[in-house]
Chain A
Amino acid sequence: MAEAKLGHGEQRSSGATGAALLIRGLRKAFADVVAVDGLDLEVARGECFGLLGPNGAGKTTTIEICEGLTSPDSGTVEVLSLNWQSGAKELRQRIGIQLQETQFPDKLTVEETLKMFRSFFNRGISVEESIRTAELEEKRKSRVVGLSGGQKQRLAMATALVGDPELLFLDEPTTGLDPQARRHLWDLVDELKQAGRTIILTTHYMDEAERLCDRVAIMDHGRVIALGTPQELIGSIGGEDIVEFAVTDSHVPEGEGPFGELRAGSGAPKIHVDVAALMAIEGVQSHRVDAGLHQLSVSELHLAVPRIFAVLKEQGLHLSEFRTHSATLEDVFVRLTGRNLRDE
């Protein structure tokens, strides 16, 4: 999928506006760890693009190469049709950056911090406007040390916005925040999207990528393992819904019987389930089992569920757990990396 997008990108980058970001054959190793292993990506202007993956997938290394903070071992990176070798000075003026774990000086106020960052840019929005956008009006005169985690993160966003950037890099913007602060930050990113800014963000929260991103690249071990809109990616696993269930043998009370000692941590005993019969049900796309919990990806949930009940009953199995949810990027990731891990 990545290769297909690349071909498309090559044509587009020669256009007048060009891509916001174009990465080809990017590689970076630290000591003996390969952090980025041959990455190709293209992000169009006005897009909100997400790099999604677990810790250690190479997201931060990738974004820091794009930000000109790390130099790649090989490969090319074009940002706003410029590169870091010759256009660094201009690029710094045109992009906005929020890094992981930046601690601003404790004893400066919000306003003082933003005034300092504003002074680095030749043009940009006013400090007042950045404070308003980040909804930090009440904290304007407060020192950084007194801000909550969410407020500190919004301050970091404001420092990225004062230069009125064409392209905004956000590295794990909501990591470590409580749910309310996360939603607050999402609203802020939404507003920036509405204003037409190009945003590239990394996250290891699948729901965040789904909520915010127009397109998502799922990364694992320094490679892109899936690329597309969240809907495309969810569709790629073959079902819109996920059915999860655990079973017990209806003849054996829980905690006893020949398989009692094999019970998994979730409380579900390991009992033979005829997977073939489940897969034969119309609308069931795939099956996997994880710690005694069976997962089916299913299309046409309303028709499939009664049939699943029937099949399990025929096998003399008793349901101890049963739930369904709409498929998410989480399910996509589990499907993709799960298979990969088993192949290795």
Chain B
Amino acid sequence: MNKLELSSFYQLTSVRFKLFVREPEAIFWIFIFPILLAVGLGIAFRNRPADVLPVGGTTAQLTQALAADKGLTAKTLDEAEGTHELATGQILLLAIQRADGVAYKYDDTNPDARTARLLADRAVQTAAGRKDAVLAGNELVHEAGARYIDFAVPGLLGLNLMGSAMWGLGFAIVDERKKKLLKRLVASPMPKSEYLGSFLVSRLVMLIIEVAFFLGFAKIAFGVPFRGSLWQLSLLCLMTSMAFSALGLLTASRAKTTEAVSGLMNLVMLPMWILSGVFFSASRFPAVIQPVVRALPLTAAIEAMRGNMLQGTGIQSMMPQMLILVAWFVVPFAVSLRIFRWR
């Protein structure tokens, strides 16, 4: 063994990497799962071009007038047929030729039907020879940054950092306690701080790979914007990961079985899945619970990362979130060092 191999810190850290790499499930959850989630959300919530709305007319002349609008497809139906198709949702609107003009039959509580009403009337009036009083043209924008996927990516990043840090530390430590390996290790001259240190260092390296992989994918596949400083974003990721590592350590500091620690970690993480604004804005929750929601580490992390990526906000204006993350690192870490059980 060379000098490096004789270093206990090197050995402990390299063992952490080996054990991680040799666990295919862990690789799936940390690298593949967030990407699958992002792809799923990206597809489900993509902004589609406006749909062509199906309508009906009671005379061939009406149908022709309606079909002239790009936003509508029209077919000729008599009133009874048309009413039936309206009721079964096959068309959104039926234009009926009356002696004194045209009547539109539609459901005014359906937004698509309301749109169809506007388009149909415009088409009918235009066919009858109406001239626009003001000349109007369109300039279309499809701005990256305002889409749902842009909102979701920082949320998923926070979620991923939480999961990988908590599972990475908590589960591994409790597993080694259950196998009495922790007891065997403290029976040797191993420096205890190096054991915990090896977890933090391996987490750090894993973090770099994991974040680069996920954000790289989000950039290439969805063109998600990065408007803030990348260094500051990296710092936010680091602080998030350290806060959740400390929480993972805390949940693992006493638990004797992996079942117990899994339950405990779900108890910690599940409320944040819902409350912390991963998939929708945390501001939707009532004002009474907002102080609690804001104080959660995942809320702070996601707010700060959204600020950085979507608005380009600098960290100097995100001090409250940074302080929350620091507090969530310091307090759980200090407590777990006090209560940690090696056996």
**Are A92 and B188 in contact, CB atoms less than 8 angstroms apart?**
yes
Which of B1, B7, B8, B12 touches A127 (beta carbons < 8 Å)? Answer: B1
What is the bound-complex CA distance between A67 and B18, given in angstroms?
30
Contact with A along B11-29 (1 / 0, CB 8 A): 1100100110011000000
Contact with B along A135-163 (1 / 0, CB 8 A): 00000000000000000000000010001
Is B134 close to A, CB under 8 A?
no
Which of B1, B176, B187 touches A115 (beta carbons < 8 Å)? Answer: B1
Select from chain A the residue with minimum beta-carbon distance to B179.
A103
**Are B187 and A69 in contact, CB atoms less than 8 angstroms apart?**
yes
Select from chain A the residue with minimum beta-carbon distance to B12.
A116
Point out the residues of chain B lying under 8 angstroms from A117, CB to CB.
Answer: 188
Point out the residues of chain B lying under 8 angstroms from A309, CB to CB.
Answer: none
**Are B180 and A102 in contact, CB atoms less than 8 angstroms apart?**
yes
Select from chain B the residue with minimum beta-carbon distance to A90.
B189
Contacts A103-B179, A103-B180, A108-B18: A97 and B11 contacting too (C-beta < 8 A)?
no
Interface-lining segment among A3-11, A118-126, A274-282, A319-327: A118-126
Is A81 close to B, CB under 8 A?
no
Contacts A120-B8, A120-B189: A126 and B343 contacting too (C-beta < 8 A)?
no
Given contacts A69-B183, A97-B184, 8 further A-B contacts (CB under 8 A): A67-B187, A99-B180, A107-B22, A108-B18, A115-B1, A115-B11, A121-B189, A163-B189
Select from chain A the residue with minimum beta-carbon distance to B182.
A102
Is B44 close to A, CB under 8 A?
no
- B interface list, Cβ under 8 A from A: 1, 5-8, 10-12, 15, 18-19, 22-23, 176, 179-181, 183-184, 186-190, 343
9 contacts between A and B (CB under 8 A): A92-B188, A97-B184, A99-B180, A105-B15, A108-B19, A112-B18, A119-B8, A120-B190, A163-B188
Contacts A97-B188, A112-B18: A102 and B11 contacting too (C-beta < 8 A)?
no
Point out the residues of chain A lying under 8 angstroms from B190, CB to CB.
Answer: 120
- A interface list, Cβ under 8 A from B: 67-69, 89, 92-93, 97, 99-105, 107-108, 112, 115-122, 126-127, 159, 163
**Are B181 and A119 in contact, CB atoms less than 8 angstroms apart?**
no
Kindly provide the distance from the CB of A54 to the nearest chain B CB, expressed in whole angstroms.
22
What is the bound-complex CA distance between A99 and B185, given in angstroms?
10
Which of B10, B11, B22, B343 touches A69 (beta carbons < 8 Å)? Answer: B343
**Are A108 and B15 in contact, CB atoms less than 8 angstroms apart?**
yes
**Are A119 and B18 in contact, CB atoms less than 8 angstroms apart?**
no
